[in-house]
Structure 1
């Protein structure tokens, strides 16, 4: 059987997608995937080094470099090289990142349809907040100029089906990081060394320890973590917290810690990208707290066996929140309810849970769904449905 050539046009070759890109590049049976993307950093997102394009075997990526032009990080003005590929016969399927503000995709999708190519969008879809013109434009792009959608979660899929999309055209492919690397690093950690390092970070290293990984931004609710710690301190409950990341809230957070005498309970690592640097901090933590929303930080935390606490309104969440199962891999507090957030933290602190059992629950979620291999399988199965007549 002749292989179906699939072109995946990426706004960014984001480093966090390295695992799934490698897995798809290694597919040898029905499909041959080729990635088109720039090497530049955009919006603070670390890119995949182009050296992976020349690597062989499972490490390599079938990658053709393009040049992308942006007005803002979320607004793609043009991507070179795609137009000519649409008019060649090799690629029968084009996968685009489906944001309506990626302006060239409208033209690319229209030309693909004229040329008889299948068009698929890799997108968040409708979280339940789309209204008016935005909802109408999504329907034009996704439904009328597309043949299928790759979505990260079931909540979005259900919303799209309610919007009139055929269930056979809406596919959940989840999300992933390089989980095998994370598992391996965690297993090789010197736990005695981690304990010694933690003792140097905090005045009382034996206290319950929170962790946050991500941008220190207001929409992530990082100030709420400090406010929770201060509220707990008022009732004689001391917790520590590790913040991995950088951002505009950093100075405000440091000043709050000084004003409320939290300095001995807080450690800022700055932005870290190496899993070997990140892993020891997760080994010190009991709970990952993300008050604003979760995304890949949730997947990051679960891979290291650390449960996640976040809010329960999925309209204002990223799809990765579905990896949080109440009482199994984390828990939820009521959206916009600070007192409930404090209550849920107190429950985690007071509950004498089996840390090894929780760690196993969290990692099993990654092993079952949120890993590059399973994501790759989901993508190829979705294409089987989309490309039935190719």
Structure 2
């Protein structure tokens, strides 16, 4: 690659992104810089280690409701020979301006973001499409999004369009993962993720109160603003003795001690990277059936076919799906094998880094000559 620098702007740098950027920085023959702001995401942003490729920006600021500004983005020097990769969130005004400024300065640009997710709204989606038009290349989260774009609004777009298949670093998980023998595990469920409204964990609590799940336990790994209200609801439903609240954690050995004793992973709301975390442990999955009310990582579930769906927001349907999945007790459980395989080989940070570099090579090779200006 002949680029002088690859400059990547991110809102923040959570722990699950570190391995990706470390691999990219190692694989690229040019200087790599990852510019990011600090943020309060609990254990995900509580780290002291600094990296040679890491650059700090001041904290993000809110301009208006729904619009953010990242100080320092527009004063970062860019020019000919640089490739600038920008987060595609349309609420980040500074990124929108940098996308245009970098092009004017002669840099090549990559728009990196989600095509559609559980948090998308029509007006932001349309703005996202406009921002894509300014870039030399597009990098989506998953192959499913590339297909949706190519078959729809992106039909005829001849720029480089690729996907990372967004995942996590599965190496530490594989090292700690125990063999999955469902009949030898207790009737315990794993929920891992932030306790937010998006998770819809209240639906799972209602399902656990159903008689068919009377002997089922729930292990909750994660924290967030909904925890207090969820604990109160659990007490009202008489579930307190069947729930374990572990809080947020990033120590994989501690997480493994919990995940390795669970039979299923259940996420009642719009699931994202938590799905890949559980699948890497070989856990079968129960998630709701509205594809576009999930985050893009739901593509891994559809790729693996490693569990069951239920009608979103329906605790009776959720309880029925959990009960059905718990009845699978064969030693050679195909769901577990498929989940682990897809997480390890198709949605890992190793694969993400390979795809990231592949797209940048295409941009450097000049495949953007047909960039959508017509």
TM-score range, shorter chain: 0.7 to 0.9
Question: 1:378 is matched with which residue?
Answer: 355
> 2-side partners of 1:240 and 1:50: how far apart?
35
Distance 1:136 1:214, change over 3 A: closer
Question: 2:56 is matched with which residue?
Answer: 65
Q: What TM-score comes out, normalization by structure 1 length?
A: 0.83
> 1-side partners of 2:82 and 2:351: how far apart?
24
75, 78, 100: which is aligned to 1:83? 75
Q: Does 1:178 align with 2:169?
A: yes
> 2-side partners of 1:128 and 1:273: how far apart?
25
- Trace 1:292-371 onto structure 2 (pairs within 5 A): 292-325=269-302, 328-354=305-331, 357-371=334-348
Question: 1:194 is matched with which residue?
Answer: none
Q: What TM-score comes out, normalization by structure 2 length?
A: 0.86
> 1-side partners of 2:116 and 2:225: how far apart?
29
Q: Any conservation in 2 of the 1:9–1:97 contact (CA below 8 Å)?
A: yes
> 2-side partners of 1:218 and 1:138: how far apart?
24
Distance 1:212 1:114, change over 3 A: same
Task: Please state how far the C-alpha of 1:167 moved relative to its aligned partner.
Answer: 6.1
- State the SS of the aligned residue for 2:60: strand
Which piece of structure 1 moves more, 213-222 or 297-306?
213-222
Question: 1:51 is matched with which residue?
Answer: 49
> 1-side partners of 2:120 and 2:273: how far apart?
23
- State the SS of the aligned residue for 1:289: strand
Task: Please state how far the C-alpha of 1:131 moved relative to its aligned partner.
Answer: 6.9
Task: Please state how far the C-alpha of 1:387 moved relative to its aligned partner.
Answer: 2.8
Question: 1:226 is matched with which residue?
Answer: 205
Distance 1:229 1:48, change over 3 A: closer
Q: Does 1:125 align with 2:102?
A: no
Task: Please state how far the C-alpha of 1:269 moved relative to its aligned partner.
Answer: 1.0
- State the SS of the aligned residue for 1:111: helix
Work out which structure has the larger RCO, using CA pairs closer than 8 Å and 6 or more positions apart in sequence. 2
- State the SS of the aligned residue for 1:52: coil
Distance 1:135 1:273, change over 3 A: closer
Task: Please state how far the C-alpha of 1:130 moved relative to its aligned partner.
Answer: 6.6
- State the SS of the aligned residue for 1:119: strand
Return 5+ residue gaps in structure 2 as ranges.
368-374
Question: 2:246 is matched with which residue?
Answer: 269
Aligned-residue Cα RMSD (Å) equals: 2.9
Question: 1:286 is matched with which residue?
Answer: 263
Distance 1:257 1:114, change over 3 A: closer
Return 5+ residue gaps in structure 1 as ranges.
55-61, 192-204
Q: Any conservation in 1 of the 2:164–2:352 contact (CA below 8 Å)?
A: yes
148, 164, 172: which is aligned to 1:159? 148
> 1-side partners of 2:337 and 2:240: how far apart?
32
Question: 1:23 is matched with which residue?
Answer: 23
Q: Any conservation in 2 of the 1:128–1:159 contact (CA below 8 Å)?
A: no
> 1-side partners of 2:213 and 2:89: how far apart?
48
Q: Does 1:138 align with 2:128?
A: yes
Task: Please state how far the C-alpha of 1:174 moved relative to its aligned partner.
Answer: 1.3
